[in-house]
Chain A
């Protein structure tokens, strides 16, 4: 078989502990976003739209839903005869095995997977971010500059720069220094966790890193610094557009609310750059005569009889009469009874909100309420066949 020019490796094993009980039973990349999607739909759709047809998805934490969701990859047109999507969990070998101990270790342990395609370049992605990006354009830049590695960066506000991994560059965009969360940042170019490596270079560094006992086997902490130490050519590729880490309840809520702005930076209706997602086969949504809907994204299978304002409603949600949903994210199959008030909340999949419940604090800067635990007074777990 012909070798592949570029193979993507998507790190999807993260637990996402800062998403609290939303990720109690699912991996972070499987978390819902935007009324229809899971986070992983974004990098996978970006791959397909960028012409990258071979993707390894590295899973570890709570992989059941992610495995089922990815399937053979047909959702993203990644069911290919040669290549396509492969789910790569940790595995045992004759000499032993065990969990992936870091992001670099996860790739190192799948050298065989990569070797079978003999790629020239490897694209490393994470399953934590919401963005639309043409990896093909980044690959062109990477090849054109003759870099050993190219790291995608985005300009962040200077005040926020100390929260990110910051790349310091020379006038030509060559990375001279990498500062992880610097107290006094020298640049505002933050790493997006999107890397392209020449495979021969990456392979050598992964093998060397694997032998270092004190390494944490992490791209940011070990591989990138080692490449810089050896004066390898690392280039920064500046991405312009919407990019958001949805690692916390607040940022997940904010990213959802960003979609409701008058001209949202992230256009989900762009037919040239579709975000693909598994389809739940539900009938169209129904807006009842008693409903008031304004400034909302609503998906199929919903039945809205109450008021929905500035909210994101996933598929199969029912909002009964005289209920108010405002500034909130309602995940799939949530059933909201009558006279319920929900403000500034994220309600997780399948919750049942009983009549008269009051959830969340309407005051503008209040904390976002998360309803995800089973058996709470206001919300009880909803069994789909009950």
Chain B
């Protein structure tokens, strides 16, 4: 039986979400009312029967470790395999590796010891609901060395500029990987590869002094290695900036887009908070809004997302905003086009208004 192990490689992900990534890496940013960005990547692995997952963390991972704990929420508290959070604590004096190859080199035991014969490597910025078992089937029947996953997007947005794009021939073989801004085949930072080949490529990269495994070990080896392209058709969002975060969050208020990501047979798992159901009082007025549990809503909320435990007092007005965990909005405060990070307090009568294309972001634990 084929088995897959997972690696979530955060090494090259930039913390581009301004205030939201002051204190945490992008993977730990809250998203979608009750999740963190990384929940989607890990849940995809859990739902694909991957029982061994390593997270290559580089910086600002305190919040990430707090969130992931022992992986119980993702069914990854396992005797065999399970979740490995691997921060950069390396003490090998013979180590000559650089870039993310430091991670591959110093954590090579994870790859050596796993019972899996295939490895899926993924980032955390591409929100999607994908089954890697399907990818593995296509990978095997294609006979390719590596299968990379891409999404053909309908429209290119600024966040896609930083993503790589694929040229794909009629046999779904990758002919080029580049940054052409007009190409809509967006590479999703995900690939599957046989364990032994991964190991060999890592060794080769380190010997050649490379610093980016995907670019130097896979992309640069075209056409010597056979790269297959797997087209993902489901819901997708690339979140690598405040603007893309804000726009893609708002997409969740569309039931069709929402259902592309949240499926009964492939749920998105996250850390459990044991909050009570949300309470809408007699004065509440809520419309087109996603609400997580533990909220108490007395005021007016429309076209917004409320995370767990948010309190909105009577007379407060919230529009087009994202309000993270445990924020308290006092009466007569007005918020429009705002992103409030966790634990913010907006006092009585305060007005904060951002632009629709450039939301006003308030860092964690501020009182205004």
Contacts and interface: CB of A to CB of B under 8 A. Distances in A.
Partners in one complex: yes
Interface of A: 34-36, 74, 262, 268-269, 274-277, 279, 281-289, 291, 293-300, 303, 308, 312-314, 384
Interface of B: 32-34, 72, 253, 255, 258, 262, 264, 267-270, 272, 274-284, 286-294, 296, 302, 305-306
Contact of B267 (A262, A277, A282, A289): A282
Given A277-B274, A300-B292, A284 B33 contact: yes
Given A269-B294, A293-B286, A283 B277 contact: no
24 contacts: A34-B276, A34-B277, A35-B276, A268-B277, A281-B267, A281-B269, A283-B268, A283-B290, A284-B32, A284-B33, A284-B290, A285-B278, A287-B290, A289-B288, A289-B302, A293-B280, A293-B284, A294-B282, A295-B282, A297-B276, A297-B280, A299-B293, A300-B292, A384-B264
Contacts of B32: 283-284
Nearest to B303: A289
Contacts of B268: 281, 283
A48 B294 CA distance: 21
A285 B274 contact: no
Contacts of A281: 267-270
A118 to B, nearest CB: 31
Candidate in B275, B279, B302 with the most chain A CB atoms within 10 angstroms: B279
6 shortest A-B CB distances, which residue pairs?
A: A284-B33, A268-B276, A35-B277, A299-B277, A284-B292, A297-B277
Contacts of B275: 269
B302 to A, nearest CB: 8
A269 B277 CA distance: 9
Given A295-B281, A300-B293, A313-B277, 20 more contacts: A34-B276, A36-B277, A269-B294, A276-B274, A277-B274, A279-B272, A283-B32, A283-B33, A284-B34, A284-B293, A284-B305, A286-B253, A286-B258, A287-B288, A288-B255, A289-B288, A289-B302, A300-B34, A303-B255, A312-B277
B276 A287 contact: no
A34 B277 CA distance: 8
A190 B101 CA distance: 70
Contacts of A34: 276-277
Nearest to A285: B291
A286 B276 contact: no
Contacts of B253: 286
A287 B281 contact: no
Contact of B286 (A35, A275, A287): A287
Contacts of B267: 281-282
Contacts of B264: 384
Contacts of A276: 274
